Amino acid sequence: MNKTFHLNTDSHSQMIDITRELERWIKDEKIEEGILIVSSLHTTAGITVNENADPDVKTDFLMRLDEIYPWEHPNDRHGEGNTASHLKTSTVGHAQTLIISNGKLMLGTWQGVYFCEFDGPRSRKYAAKMIADKY
């Protein structure tokens, strides 16, 4: 079973917690056990799992990516001028595979699933596929 989710980002770089939206879908579909694959449908936005308790983790995460991949670099050749966003997406990854157990995502205490915007603000999409063991 597949689903496409839509969201709007409101800043150039941003991490949006999508955990609850994914878990709501799992609950609505009454999936007890299985696998969930979540994928960004963009070359300048990724999906990651990271801490969701301290908001400074997101701030630090984005700051450090900016240090590694500055928005403007004299050697960049890409005509759109967003080479940094492509590099960040490739580093973070475009997708995550997650375990569903007892009707919920199997995540650690402090973990959440994030849509990572690297070239916003924009209207974005991500797709998810559930592969269920039990209904």
Residue range(s) defining the domain that contains residue 70? 2-132
pLDDT in tens, 46-102: 999 999 999 999 999 999 999 999 987 777 777 677 889 999 999 999 999 999 999
Stated pTM of the model: 0.94
CATH number at residue 96: 2.60.120.460
- Which long-range CB contacts under 8 A does 38-41 form with residues at least 24 apart? 38/95, 38/96, 38/98, 38/113, 38/126, 38/127, 38/128, 39/94, 39/95, 39/126, 39/127, 39/128, 40/89, 40/94, 40/95, 40/115, 40/116, 40/124, 40/126, 41/4, 41/124, 41/125, 41/126, 41/127
Q: Does residue 135 carry a pLDDT above 70?
A: no
pLDDT at 25 over 90: yes
- What's residue 73's pLDDT? 74
Q: Quote the number of domains for the chain.
A: 1
